[in-house]
Amino acid sequence: MKLVRYGTPGSEKPGLIDADGKIRDLSAHIADLEGEALSPESLARIAALSPASLPEVAGNPRLGSCVAQPGNFIAVGLNYADHAAESNLPVPKEPVLFNKAPSCVVGPNDDVVIPRGSLKTDWEVELAIVIGKRASYVEEKDALSYVAGYAVCNDVSERAYQTEGTGQWMKGKGCPTFGPLGPWLVTTDEVDDVQDLDMWLDVNGERMQTGSTKTMIFGVAHIVHYISQFMILEPGDVITTGTPPGVGMGKKPPRYLKPGEVITLGIEKLGTQKQTTVAWSA
C-alpha cells in the first residue's frame, strides 16, 4: 500500500493511494498515520479494505509528511563509502547515529526554509525507515518484521552548524523544515528488495546525486537491529539511513542552496519530492 497524509498543515487526514493514483480517505478507520495505526495488525486491516469503498478525495490537496510527527527521528551518517570520502571522513566501522528534531518534519513538497544567517544549507536524498512495532534488542534476522514501510527523506543539512564551532551534527540537522518525508509511506510488501533501489536528487534541474541503496554500508536490517540495542524504537519512529555522494559540501568548489532554488528528488518505488527554498523571515 501507499499511505498518505493530506490537507493543510496541522489538519492532515490519513489516506491511501488507489490503483488510479487517487487519494482515498482513511479517516473513518484510523485517526492518523502514527503509533499503533502503523502496527502489523492495523496495516492488515487497512489492506483488507476495498479502496473503492473509501471516499475519494477531490482535487489535488497538499500532502503532509507521510507519518505524523515521530517520537524519534534518528539518522545514520556516512552510510555510503563514497559519501564518506567526499566528506573527507573515514568509512565507519559501525553505524554513526545522530538525531534530527521531530519538529523539522514537513510534507514532501513544502518549502525548505534556509535558516537565519545560514551560508551552507545542503541537500541529501535518503531512504527512510518507518517503524511499525516496538523494537528492543532485536535480532538482525528478525529486524525487517519491525518495519511498517519506507519513504523518501531529504535530510536537509546546514554544514556550518553541523561541523564548525563545537561541531555537533544535530545542530545542522534539525532546523525547521529540514525533514521532508513522503510523498507516501510505502508498506514493505510493495518493496521486493529494499537494498536495491535507485535514488537521485536534482537542484534547478541539474543532477547532483545518483545512487542506489545497494551501496549502503549498513543495510536496513542491520540498522534497525543496531539502534534497538541502545534505545527502544516505537511505532511511528523514523530512521533515515544516509545519502550517496553528490552533496553540495562535496562539490569542488562547494555548492550550497540559496533562496528561490528548486530541489527535486526521488527513490525507486517510493515516489518523488519537490521543494522550493525560501529565506528565513521573522
Residue 10 is predicted with a pLDDT of 95
Query: 117: helix, coil or strand?
Result: coil
CATH 3.90.850.10 range(s) for the chain read 73-279
Q: What is the pLDDT of residues 216-236, one digit of tens each?
A: 999 999 999 999 999 999 999
Q: Is the pLDDT of residue 83 over 90?
A: no
The single residue listed with the C-alpha cell 527535486 is: 264
Report the alpha-carbon distance of residue 234 to residue 50 in Å, rounded.
28
Query: Residue 44: what pLDDT?
Result: 98
Q: Taking residues 37-42, report their average pLDDT.
A: 98
At residue 182, the pLDDT reads: 98
Percentage above 90 pLDDT, the chain: 92
Quote the pLDDT of residue 240. Answer: 98
**Residue among 14, 19, 13, 5 nearest 50 (CA):** 19
Residue 165 has pLDDT above 90, yes or no: no
Which letter does DSSP use for residue 80 in this model? Answer: B
pLDDT tens-digit map of 198-214:
999 999 999 999 999 99
Structure pTM? 0.96
Average pLDDT over residues 130-134: 98
For residue 86, the model assigns a pLDDT of 81
Q: What pLDDT, on a 0 to 100 scale, did the predictor assign at position 34?
A: 97
Which residues make beta-bridge pairs with 185?
3
- In this structure, are residues 101 and 177 in contact, taking their beta carbons and an 8 Å threshold? no
Does domain 73-279 bear CATH number 1.10.8.60? no
